[in-house]
Amino acid sequence: MRRQWHQEVIAVHTTRDADERRLTDLYVKATEHLGSPLAQVRVAGLYALVRRCVRPL
């Protein structure tokens, strides 16, 4: 019983860590787009950041 509980706790933490890593990667990529010389890419970066603020993971 205890072993199963421990495995479930580890699974929850692993999932949460993966979600946080994904969020960080998306944020970094969006902010990198803001420095692009192309206006379309900068606008896409802004949309990505706004989407993240409006609809959290």
* DSSP label at residue 46: H
Alpha-carbon Rg of the chain, whole angstroms? 17
Domain range for 30 is 2-54
> Which has more pLDDT, 51 or 43?
43
What's the rounded mean pLDDT across residues 22-34?
91
Q: Minimum mean pLDDT among 22-26, 27-31, 39-43, 51-55: which range? A: 51-55
Place of tokens 């379309």: 40
pLDDT at 18: 92
Q: How many domains does the chain have?
A: 1
In terms of pTM, does the model score above 0.75?
no
